[in-house]
Amino acid sequence: MARRPLPRILSNGSAQLARSRELARTAADSATDVLHPLITITRGLRWLAAAGRRRWTETPKEKRGALLFMVASVLLVVALLPYGPLLAAVTLMAAAAWKGRDRGPAAPDGPDESQTERLKVLYEALVPYFSSAEDPEPLYAHGGAWDKAFPTYAFDGGGRISHLVVRYPAYFTDGEAEARARIEHLLAAKSGRGREYHFTWDEEDNQLTVSVLLPLPVDIAAQRFVTTPGETVLGFTDPTQVRRTLPLTYGEQRRDVPPVVWRTGLRSTEPHLLALGQPGSGTSTLLRSIALQALQHGDVVIVDGGGTGEYACLTGRDGVLAVECGLTGALASLEWAATETERRVIAANRAHQAGHPPPDDTKRPLWILLDRPTAFTHLAAADDRKDPQSLLQVPLRHGRPANVTVVVADQLDSADALTDAVRQHTRARVVLGPATADQVESVLGAPPHTTPVDQVPPGRGYARLGTGPVHRLQVPATPNPYDDATSDAHRQAVLDLLPPRTTPADGETVPDPERAQGEPEPVDPRTEPVPEPEPVAPEPVPVLTEPTEPTEPTERKPVPVLTEPTQRKPVPVLTKPTKTS
């Protein structure tokens, strides 16, 4: 049973909570300053006690008596001297204060020489963008004071900027996307390439906050996520704009990671999904992850335009209606899906008009997953046949009331070959793999708040659900378990999530590639046919025939006497014998 989340504090109390935290922080700092001598003396006494205990342990047993006698003599002399206990206490406190002092190197008040040079270079690079000839007191000028423009800054262990607050003049056009993009590109280039930066623009205070994002975890394997029916986990993101976390398993450890949850069903505003990416970016991994989650509560139809067998592990599983890799099978499956969508819509409409709840056969979710459907477009045009994408218009337009969800994954280079229905009705978008900011904006409809990098792991990209914000995304590792390059841990994680295989209606069993070669197939006693009894040959009926004349004289055999049996037997048939040659 899923744990109920704790109630969150209402938004109207955030200001009071912030003031309370500030007061608590101020009180803690004041108490630390007041109690600093006591803390130092306590630390020194603890150090002296540890040193005495260590000296007593290192002393041999035969010498401990003499040492104890010497210590007792010193204490007795101190106790007999005038003001001896007071002087001993003062000496002990002084020694404790000396030993408990902070021995760490003093932190510098400002940046060192290399950090100062880096900030000066960044300030000079921003002068052409944040300066104006008409400004009487320019904030940015060649040779100006950089400390006024950068009130807050931080560096990592390598000497590169990890956090920076940039002040800019009020006349800068921070409302234009092009002006923002120029500043973000400059800051990312001067702060260090190869990292992802998050930019937060504060138009009211004319400040830009630049922070370095940590890499998203790539070791999250496929597993059962704590979600409700109708929620699908696309991947995981940063905790900056997501207030929900999911408990995940990392081997023997458990962590709470913020997810990107896509909601489908009757009340969803984004019922269909479009995922685009470069080859090898992880779009097939995303579809496998969605399929494994959808099979918990619904049925799945898979159309693989790539034809590489990425979904062979789902063939013959419970809930998987079809896995098609050819044009003919894809057309047949999509035609059935369109017909099923129409049937569900009509049945639900009739039930609503009659005042009854929808039928049960219209409530089970139906998922249509298409991987590279544009590959069938060229084949259909060559054979003068119907494009499979044209059959998606009915599920895309009427899929939400019929509990039908369409997920399309393709490559960025083939985005122009997608039909208008696919582009218009897929409001949930995902971009995976290396992509420029313009490509991400053209697919998602909004620019990302981070700087895309050139080298990203598989399954890494951006996601946007409808008109929401753009999130960084890392798809959980859901590889093809039949691929030799897959690790054993990820292969076993996917195999554990696969539903059991389905026995066909004619009694034949689907071969299981996971079973060792030569091992007999298991027999289901419910479907095993009952063996019919072997037919018993009827007893031969005695036939009375006249004896034939033998060519050579032989002894005449006595004719058997027929006696009437106790039970009535059939009358023997007398046939005329044939003459022998």
Residue 265: the pLDDT is 87
Residue, of 368 and 544, whose pLDDT is higher: 368
Q: Which three-class secondary structure state does DSSP give residue 348?
A: helix
Write the pLDDT tens digit of every residue in 409-427: 999 999 999 999 999 999 9
Q: What are phi and psi of 184, to 5 degrees?
A: -65, -40
Identify the pLDDT of residue 485: 87
- Run of H or E residues at 213: none
Least confidently predicted of 176-180, 184-188, 475-479, 559-563? 559-563
Instruction: Give me the percent of the chain exceeding a pLDDT of 70.
Output: 80
Q: Mean pLDDT of all residues in the chain?
A: 81
- Give me the pLDDT at residue 534, please: 54
CA distances from 254 to 171, 226, 372 (A): 49, 13, 36
DSSP 317: B
Per-residue pLDDT reduced to its tens digit, 313-366: 999 999 999 999 999 999 999 999 999 999 999 999 999 999 999 999 899 999
| pLDDT over 60 (residue 535) | no
Average pLDDT over residues 211-237: 91
Bigger pLDDT: 283 or 136? 283
User: To which H or E segment does residue 211 belong?
Assistant: strand 207-212
Q: Which of 52-66, 124-138, 555-569 has the lowest mean pLDDT?
A: 555-569
Q: Residue 566: its pLDDT value, please?
A: 46
Q: Is residue 45 pLDDT above 50, yes or no?
A: yes
Residue 65 has a pLDDT of 84
pLDDT at 99: 77
Q: Quick one: CA dihedral 544, 559, 557, 546, positive or negative?
A: negative
Tell me which H or E stretch contains 209: strand 207-212
pLDDT tens, residue by residue, 239-256: 877 888 998 877 677 888
**Average pLDDT rounded to a whole number, residues 219-230:** 90
Q: Among 215, 164, 217, 160, which residue's Cα sits nearest to residue 193? A: 160
User: Which two tokens mark 56?
Assistant: 């007593």
The three-point CA angle 67-69-74 to 5° equals 95
Q: What is the pLDDT of residues 8-36, one digit of tens each?
A: 444 444 456 556 666 777 777 676 666 77
Q: For 80-116, what is each residue's pLDDT tens digit? A: 888 888 888 888 888 888 877 766 555 555 677 888 8
Among 143-152, 401-410, 453-462, 551-560, the least confident range: 551-560
Task: Give the number of other Cβ atoms within 10 Å of residue 48's Cβ.
Answer: 15
Higher-pLDDT residue of 448 and 194 is: 448
Specify the pLDDT at position 108: 56
Average confidence (pLDDT) over 537-552: 47
Structure tokens at 242: 């997501």
Residue whose C-alpha is closest to residue 429's, from 462, 395, 453: 462
User: 183 pLDDT exceeds 70?
Assistant: yes
Helices and strands (H, E) in the chain, number of each type: 14, 16
In whole angstroms, how far apart are CA 556 and each of 384, 510, 547, 553, 562? 89, 69, 10, 9, 18
Q: Looking at residue 559, what is its pLDDT?
A: 44
pTM: 0.69
Q: For residue 276, give the amino acid letter.
A: L
DSSP 171-201: TS-TTSHHHHHHHHHHHHHHH-TTS-EEEEE
Q: Residue 17 to residues 129, 221, 405, 440: CA-CA distances in angstroms?
A: 38, 37, 42, 37
Supply φ then ψ for residue 424, to 5 degrees: -85, -35
pLDDT at 530: 46
- Average pLDDT of the segment spanning 357-381: 92
Only one residue has tokens 């623009």, namely 201
Stated length of the chain: 581
- d(Cα 54, Cα 462) in Å, to the nearest integer? 58
Segment 2-12 mean pLDDT: 45
HSE-up (13 A, CA, CB side) for residue 519 = 9
- In this structure, the number of other CB atoms found within 10 A of the CB of residue 438 comes to 10
